Amino acid sequence: MFPILKRFAALDFKWKLKDFKRGELALSREFKPKVFADVRESMDVKDYLREFGCEVVEKALAPADYVVAESYAVERKEIHDFFRSVFDGRLFEQAKRLTETYENACLVVEGDVLNAVKFMQNPQVFWGALAKVMADHNIAAVFTPDEKHTAMFLCALAKKLQEEERRRVVVKHKPKTHTLKERQLLAVQSLPKVGPERAEALLRRFGSVRRVFQATKRELLSVKGLGEKTAQAIVDFLDTKYPGLEEQ
């Protein structure tokens, strides 16, 4: 046996002996930490949590993907979703809501981070976003290679907080609120083939949501990046009668 493994084995024996003397070894084995998981989260993570001895309660969570204690929530990001959420701004909004609702929060970035960053044109984007989340919102970051290890971490964290620190598990709810600018962007994004960038361009060109909706096809084509098909799709969408009106 390698020296380091011998040290772990010796420590493990000492901890078990200490627990036995206190009469807590049986409790440790029987203790089943409770983890609240968002209904939309990965079934694999939930199944692994159950396999590792956790009681999993599925519930619609807002914010957070997992709640492991009254004041501790976890947001899980698969590596590619992490990149997408950085570019569309979701990451920072979620981080803000998370820390406004829970006293402690953790971001789990799941996947092959090193390989993903290696192929990025500008890796500083990744590290900058991570630094912003940690510095501005005081959120811890944890990296896991896959769903199984994510479940291992969640189970260990839940057990630490609930069994050793005797914290209850309470889910808190903070509805998502939007600023006026965000609501305007969302309204314009309801148009066909219009994402965040095009919505921003349309509002900058026309000045208000009403003017965007009143724009002619010719005016829409004057917006940089807006092609013939998109302009026509927007016009058709706004001009088409509501289904059923013809029958009245």
Q: How do residues 191-218 score in pLDDT, each as one tens digit?
A: 888 887 888 899 999 999 999 999 999 9
Residue type, position 217, single letter = K
What confidence tier does 171 reach under pLDDT thresholds 50, 70, 90? low
Q: CA angle at residue 139 from 166 to 185, to 5 degrees?
A: 125
What confidence tier does 19 reach under pLDDT thresholds 50, 70, 90? very low
Q: How far apart are CA 155 and CA 35, in angstroms?
A: 8
Same domain, 39 and 107: yes
Mean pLDDT across the chain: 82
Q: Percentage of the chain surpassing pLDDT 70?
A: 80
pLDDT of residue 246: 59
Which residues are registered as beta bridge partners of 109? 77, 143
Q: How far apart are CA 234 and CA 193, in angstroms?
A: 8
Phi-psi region of 146 (alpha: psi -120 to 50; beta: other; left: phi over 0): beta
Over residues 19-42, the mean pLDDT reads 67
Same domain, 129 and 160: yes
The 10 Å Cβ neighbour count of residue 172 is 16
Same domain, 117 and 187: no
Same domain, 113 and 69: yes
pLDDT in tens, 53-88: 999 999 888 889 999 988 899 999 999 889 888 887
DSSP assignment of 160-200, as one string? IIIIIS--------------HHHHHHHHHHTSTT--HHHHH
Query: For residue 95, is it within any domain?
Result: yes
**Distances in whole angstroms, Cα of residue 5 to Cα of each of 12, 149, 220:** 10, 21, 68
Same domain, 159 and 184: no
DSSP assigned state of 66 = E
pLDDT of residue 176: 55
Res. 110: pLDDT tops 90: yes
Q: How far apart are CA 99 and CA 32, in angstroms?
A: 27
Same domain, 128 and 51: yes
Q: Which domain holds residue 187?
A: 180-240
Query: For residue 246, is it within any domain?
Result: no
Same domain, 76 and 125: yes
Domain count, the chain: 2
Q: How far apart are CA 161 and CA 158, in angstroms?
A: 5
Query: For residue 172, is it within any domain?
Result: no
pLDDT of residue 215: 94
Residue type, position 61, single letter = L
Same domain, 60 and 154: yes
CATH number for 144: 3.40.50.10130
**Distances in whole angstroms, Cα of residue 113 to Cα of each of 54, 76, 117:** 27, 14, 6
Biggest alpha carbon distance in the chain? 85
**Distances in whole angstroms, Cα of residue 137 to Cα of each of 74, 133, 182, 191:** 13, 5, 21, 33
Instruction: Return the H-helix or E-strand segment holding 68.
Output: strand 66-69
pLDDT of residue 25: 35
Over residues 210-238, the mean pLDDT reads 92
DSSP assignment of 120-137, as one string? -S-THHHHHHHHHHHHHH
What confidence tier does 141 reach under pLDDT thresholds 50, 70, 90? very high
- Mean pLDDT lowest for which of 103-117, 131-145, 165-179? 165-179
Question: Is 79 within 8 Å of 57 (Cβ atoms)?
Answer: no
